[in-house]
Amino acid sequence: MTFQRARTDEQRSQRRRQILDTAAAMLTEMSVAKLSLNELSRRVGLAKVNVLRYFESREAVLLDLLDTEVKDWIAELEHLPPAGKGTARERGDLLADILATSMARRPVLCDLLSAQGGVLEHNISTEVGIRHKHAARQSLQVLAQLVLRHLPELGTEGAAALVESTLLMAMTAWQCSRPPEAMLAVYASDPALAAMRLDFTDLVRRTTAVTASGLLVRRGSQAAAPAS
Residue 216, C-beta contacts closer than 8 angstroms, at least 6 positions apart: 88, 89, 92, 151, 153, 154, 158
The pLDDT of residue 1? 41
How far is the first Cα of the chain from the last one, in angstroms, to the nearest whole number? 75
Angstrom distance (rounded) from CA 80 to CA 66: 22
- For residue 192, pLDDT beyond 90: yes
* pLDDT band at residue 172 under the 50/70/90 scheme: very high
* pLDDT band at residue 223 under the 50/70/90 scheme: low
> What percent of the chain has pLDDT above 70?
93
Three-state secondary-structure class, residue 36: coil
> Using an 8 Å Cβ cutoff, are 161 and 142 in contact?
no
pLDDT tens-digit map of 38-73: 999 999 999 999 999 999 999 999 999 999 999 999
Task: Catalogue all structural domains in the chain, each as residue range(s) with its CATH number.
Answer: 7-55 (1.10.10), 58-216 (1.10.357.10)
Angstrom distance (rounded) from CA 72 to CA 102: 11
The pLDDT of residue 12? 82
Alpha-helix runs per DSSP H in the chain: 9-26, 37-44, 48-51, 58-78, 88-104, 107-115, 126-150, 155-176, 181-189, 191-194, 200-224
* pLDDT band at residue 228 under the 50/70/90 scheme: very low
